[in-house]
Amino acid sequence: MQCPRCRQENPEHAQFCTRCHTPLSYTCPACKHVQAHGGQCEQCGVDFAKYSALLVFTAQETASQARERTRARTSIVRQIILLPITGGISLVKYLLGLLRRK
Ligand SMILES: [Zn+2]
Ligand SMILES: [Zn+2]
């Protein structure tokens, strides 16, 4: 496979030129199809740039969802921790009410 830029002979299926590091083959991020040019996948038609942007967006989305989930879990944990306290207070109030009634 000859480099389109510097005409260096490279081994077949080389991803980058061994001399000038120009990308010689592109792997589709969606279907793993390997082709000689970037841009759009010859096999599944995915736009490489759009797909990588989508991947970054999905990663950010997943990260924020994970943060959201952690926050929800923390508030549940806080409620469980506070439960004996609030429960204890209402128990004290209940006992005081009993005492007052006598
Ligand atoms: Zn080259
Ligand atoms: Zn593809």
- Which residues line ion ligand 1, judged by CB < 5 Å? 3, 5-6, 8, 17, 19-20, 22
Query: What pLDDT is attached to residue 102?
Result: 63
Rounded CA-CA distance 41/58 in Å is 20
Q: How far is the CA of 76 from the centre of ligand 2 (A)?
A: 43
Q: How confident is the model at residue 8 (pLDDT cuts 50, 70, 90)?
A: very high
Tell me the two tokens of residue 40: 């759009």
Taking only the tens place, the pLDDT of each residue in 34-68 is: 998 889 999 999 999 899 888 888 999 999 999 99
Query: What pLDDT is attached to residue 23?
Result: 87
CA 48 to chain centre: 18
Centre a 10 Å sphere on the Cβ of residue 66 and count the other Cβ atoms it contains: 10
Q: How far is the CA of 61 from the centre of ligand 2 (A)?
A: 23
26: closest CA among 52, 6, 7, 60?
A: 52
Name the residue with higher pLDDT: 59 or 84.
59
> Using an 8 Å Cβ cutoff, are 27 and 20 in contact?
no
